[in-house]
Amino acid sequence: MPLAREVEYWQGVSAKCVTAEGQILFDNVWKRPEQLKRLLKYPWIKERVLEIGTGNAMIAGALQVAVQGHWKYTGTELAPHFRNAAKTMFQLNVLEADVLELPGSDYTRIIALDSLEHVRPEHRGAGYAKMAEVAARDALLFLHYSNSVSCHDSEFDHPFGLADLMELEKVAFCMLTYERYPCFNHRAQEMMDYVFVVMQKC
């Protein structure tokens, strides 16, 4: 279960990023195309998709347009404001859940873009096991995270990296691709070092 202060923090973040009507106020417009072009190397039509931490849902919305709704999508998000925006803008099914209480099963695609670093360290082992539990055989797991200094409050942002990828391998995911790339972040007003990873349940 998420802590009340976690929900409060992400609700505050969401209010700075998107209006209740779904108008985007703030987003990293340089990072989204980088994420999307990497995701679109893989098929999405007729896939069962789980997204962990939808945020403003721009990536899911773009994928929804690309596949013209020919997929089964479920998103999870702590902030009510983000959940409402996802439904308003893209008619996406987004539920309140953290990584310990992921809904559903047999997902063929799991997306976690800039979200697992916000999972508290003491919950990561069980959270990774839950991800493996809801993943279908041969499911693909797409991860994105920053190797640079975080722009978030340190209480809600924790180091994520190779040790976490090794923990994911222990619970059933095998590494397919690991890519580091630089991208401008306009909140930080500098280039940041990002990582895009694809793993497969094995």
pLDDT tens by residue, 70-96: 999 999 999 988 999 899 999 999 999
Question: Which one is the CATH code of 4-201: 3.40.50.1370, 3.90.330.10, 3.90.1300.10, 3.40.50.150?
Answer: 3.40.50.150
Give residue 69's region: left, alpha or beta (phi > 0; psi -120 to 50): left
Task: Enter the pTM of the model.
Answer: 0.93
Domain boundaries, the chain: 4-201
Over residues 38-51, mean pLDDT? 98
Over residues 144-156, mean pLDDT? 76
Check residue 54 and give its pLDDT.
95
